[in-house]
Amino acid sequence: MMRLLRLLKIIRVALRYGLDEIILSRERLQGVRALSLRLWFWRDLSRPRGERLRMALESLGPIFVKFGQVLSTRRDLLPPDIADELARLQDRVPPFPSHQVVATLEGVYGRSLKEVFREFDETPIASASVAQVHLAVLPDGREAAVKVLRPGIDRVIRHDVSLMHSAASLFQRLWSEAHRLKPHEVIDEIEKHLFDELDLMREAANASQLRRNFQGSPLLRIPEMYWDYCNAQALVMERMRGTQINQVATLRAQGVDIALLARNGVEIFFTQVFRDGFFHADMHPGNILVDEKGGYIALDFGIMGTLTDVDKAYLARNFLAFFRRDYRGVALAHVDAGWVPKETRVDEFEAAIRSVCEPIFDKPLKEISFGRLLLRLFQTSRRFNVEIQPQLVLLQKTLLNIEGLGRDLDPDLDLWRTAKPYLERWMSEQIGWRGLVRRLKEEAPQWATVFPQLPRLTHRALVDLQAQKTNEVWAQLLMEQRRQTNILLIVTALLAVLMGIVLFKIAS
């Protein structure tokens, strides 16, 4: 019954915001669309479709908001206007009652809340889709922020995800091109992100890793995790004080150098990506504070991106080729990475990439968008059946966020010029002589262990090889013996038959 009521609400909201008009926009469904427009004539469809979709998701509640947020990362699948609008989704969710917060925490710690914290403010300072945050003071006097999961949120997610799959199936029946968008796979990916965020120990570990990466850095501060108080349902961390980064007027009044702040944001991002291969992938203004010294404070570590050495090598080759306008090099980087089918003609792929990049490079550097460049490249790659790597899509989405944030702070920010020193240094470390030295240093401990054993290992390998050869010889001899035995048995059988025939004729 509950599922039916929820489904009816989804249908009502979809009709209210004209989502049926978006779904039925295909040419073969024009008749159905015309009928729908007459039946629901009372609706206001003057707003752009992306805005109406965003408003519908906000009306359906926190899980659908989170769905839209994660879906906005798949810009390789969405039209730009819808992706841009979904990226504006923010968690504006009413808090859940304080008695549920107390019950959850006392269930986690197995004792009264007064025994756990010296002080605990039952009024939340922030409330989002899957959790909300309260301020507290630990017994030793340290100020803390306590993040608590919404009760029963996992059940709500499973319920709504099931309805999303049902909607995806209907979508595939109504729209012939829906299979290319892989709606069920997208929903599975979103479900994974949602359930990853439900494990607050995972988020605490992400924060701890990022804090260690920037230990001692004046650019970025990460709250300390208070592990003795952390659990899958509750995360307790150092309380951070600062101003939200989008409150530019307040920051100026505090004497913060806004242009420097924008440049530092770019440096922080590229350091995370190209030095560490581990980056904060949810960098909207609600998750970024600025302290009194103009340093960044990052919050909410539920969604993090990672890059392997293979990913970094791919990016290194691509960026180096982009700087040189070597479009064949970009095409070959895709082929060598195995992301393009083997039968793809490199010259055709090269021509498609050139058509994407040449118009961009004819603009002033400060007008070039890294994120848009990657997006156009992904869209072009899709024509050649390239499997877009999820971690690179997440990188592209985060890069768009950083670009937008940086240019909101400083409209004259030249991202390419700001990023170029870090990219050049990183590429040198990856593919130049510095990269060779770094890899030699990384392998040196292993060599120090293996080198003294080389004589023994070499002797063992020779013995094993000799034993293998001996075994092969014996195996061949045995096979030869078996073959000769089989021949002998066949010959003996034939002789027996012939002898029997001869004896039979003599007897007769």
DSSP string of 125-140, one letter each residue: SEE-SSEEEEEEE-TT
Could you give the CA distance from residue 288 to residue 306 in angstroms, rounded to a whole number?
A: 20
Q: Most distant CA pair in the chain: distance in Å? A: 128
pLDDT at 477: 59
Give me the pLDDT at residue 439, please: 65
Mean pLDDT of 373-390: 68
**How confident is the model at residue 4, as a pLDDT?**
67
Question: Averaged over 342-365, what is the pLDDT?
Answer: 77
DSSP type of residue 120: E
278 pairs with which residues across the strands? Answer: 306
* Model confidence band, residue 26 (pLDDT cutoffs 50, 70, 90): low
Domains of the chain: 2-89+154-195 (no CATH), 98-151+199-304 (1.10.510.10), 307-447 (no CATH)
Here the tokens at position 21 are 């008009």
**φ/ψ of residue 256, rounded to 5:** -75, 135
pLDDT at 106 over 90: yes
Rounded distance between C-alpha atoms, residue 373 and residue 453, angstroms: 51
**DSSP structure class, residue 225:** B
Q: What pLDDT, on the 0 to 100 scale, is given for residue 120?
A: 96
pLDDT higher than threshold 90 for residue 298:
yes
Confidence label for 406 from pLDDT (cuts 50, 70 and 90): confident
**Core vs surface per residue 174-207: b (16+ CB within 10 A) or e:** ebeebeebebbebbebbbebbeebbbbebbbbbb
Report the catalytic residues: 282
pLDDT in tens, 428-443: 776 666 666 666 666 6
CA distance 10 to 15: 9
- Which of helix, strand or coil describes residue 51? helix
Residue 162 pLDDT greater than 80, yes or no: yes
Give the model's pLDDT for residue 181: 59
Higher pLDDT, 62 or 233: 233
Cβ–Cβ contacts within 10 Å for residue 83, how many? 20
pTM for this one? 0.72
- pLDDT of 104 > 70? The answer is yes
CB 374 within 8 A of CB 398: no
